[in-house]
Homo-oligomer: A and B are copies of this chain.
Amino acid sequence: MSTRQDGRSGEDQLIDRFFRPIAKHPGALGLVDDAAFLTPPAGSDLVLTVDAVVVGVHFLADDPADSVAKKALRVNLSDLAAKGAKPLGALLSLSMPENTGDDWLAAFARGLGEDCAAFDCPLLGGDMTGTPGLLTISITAIGAVPTGRMVRRKGAQPGDVLVITGTIGDAVLGLKLRREPNNPAFARLNRTARALLADRYLLPQPRVALARSLHEHATAAVDISDGLAGDVGKLAAASGVAARIEAKRIPFSAPARTALSEEPNLVETMLGGGDDYEIAATVPENRLKALQAAGTESGIDVTAIGRIEAGEGVTVLGLDGQPLALKQASFSHF
């Protein structure tokens, strides 16, 4: 509780100082209404998603505040992108310990504002509360997709090609590198390579630019937040099909390949570790080129890594053509 001479609460003053400047969209109503409004675009369905990030679970206590804000937004933008939806706006729910400094908040708001602008996803509103617990950031993102065109996890058909954007496993290696900088697997990585991996953990690259092509071409899609094998497994289960992934076709970054050559067992971590925020999608064979061309235009590699088949489950075929036995299919909090 706090008493202020002007009758305005501490929350209002924090909102004034840090969040009002980045919430200029008319739907934010200047953040004075404790609610936002949105005129839905004609001919659209809305896609809604929420994800929370907690210090020590989804980000580290010493991560820069601006990148924490960006990650909290981007994990949601990644969900929208996988649905083929264009962002319309976001709501922030911020639970802050009392010792959260103004410097932290200023950097957090700056980062959030930068990404809201970069991804054309205006901050529409939110809620700020004190907590005796841990810093917890929950962002809700709203997107639009042409009516009836939302891309779901359900819809993959036997014969479809399984594709993946970008590269897999960098983020989990980046986290491992933060925790075990002297792990022999990383011995041959130079500073640039280490920075690339670290950055992939800190700052996911949501594939927003591919959303439109996904709702034009994909039969199903999922964003890889909990690990390639596990998330493709969810897509396969939702679609009632099997997915076969060829390990040799999975795109790895140069630093990841270097680490893998030192420690081949890392492949399991990389396929199950999560935080990639790439998109796995299924496309009919005759749409593959169009999707890849759209990716190229947006600077996003789209790589075919396998096939959808009748049946169930995910099989990852190793270099020898034999299925890998993955001990842990995906990340889970419980």
With A36-B49, A93-B51, A142-B48 already in contact, the answer to whether A10 and B132 are too (CB < 8 A) is: no
B contact residues around A48 at 8 Å (CB): 35-38, 89, 91, 124-125, 140, 142
Query: Can you name the residue of chain B whose Cβ is closest to the Cβ of A314?
Result: B7
B contact residues around A37 at 8 Å (CB): 45-48, 83, 145, 150
B contact residues around A314 at 8 Å (CB): 7
B contact residues around A136 at 8 Å (CB): 52, 95, 131, 133, 136
Query: Can you name the residue of chain B whose Cβ is closest to the Cβ of A144?
Result: B40
Q: Which residues of A1-57 are within 8 A (CB) of B?
A: 1-4, 7, 9-14, 29, 32-40, 44-57
A284 at the interface (CB under 8 A from B): no
Query: Can you name the residue of chain B whose Cβ is closest to the Cβ of A334?
Result: B10
A194 at the interface (CB under 8 A from B): no
A10 lies within 8 A of B332 (CB):
yes
A138 lies within 8 A of B93 (CB):
yes
A305 CB, min distance to chain B CBs, angstroms: 18
With A138-B138, A332-B11 already in contact, the answer to whether A45 and B38 are too (CB < 8 A) is: yes
| Docked complex Cα distance between A10 and B226 (Å) | 12
A50 lies within 8 A of B126 (CB):
yes
Q: Which of A108-116, A175-183, A246-254, A322-330 contacts B (4 or more CB under 8 A)?
A: A322-330
B328 lies within 8 A of A3 (CB):
yes
Q: A2-B332, A14-B334, A33-B152 are known contacts; what are 4 more A-B pairs with Cβ within 8 Å?
A: A12-B234, A32-B153, A50-B93, A51-B93
* Residues in A lying within 8 Å of B, measured CB to CB: 1-4, 7, 9-14, 29, 32-40, 44-58, 79-80, 82-83, 89, 91-93, 95, 98, 124-134, 136, 138, 140, 142, 145, 147, 150, 152-154, 222-223, 226, 230, 233-234, 237-238, 313-314, 327-334
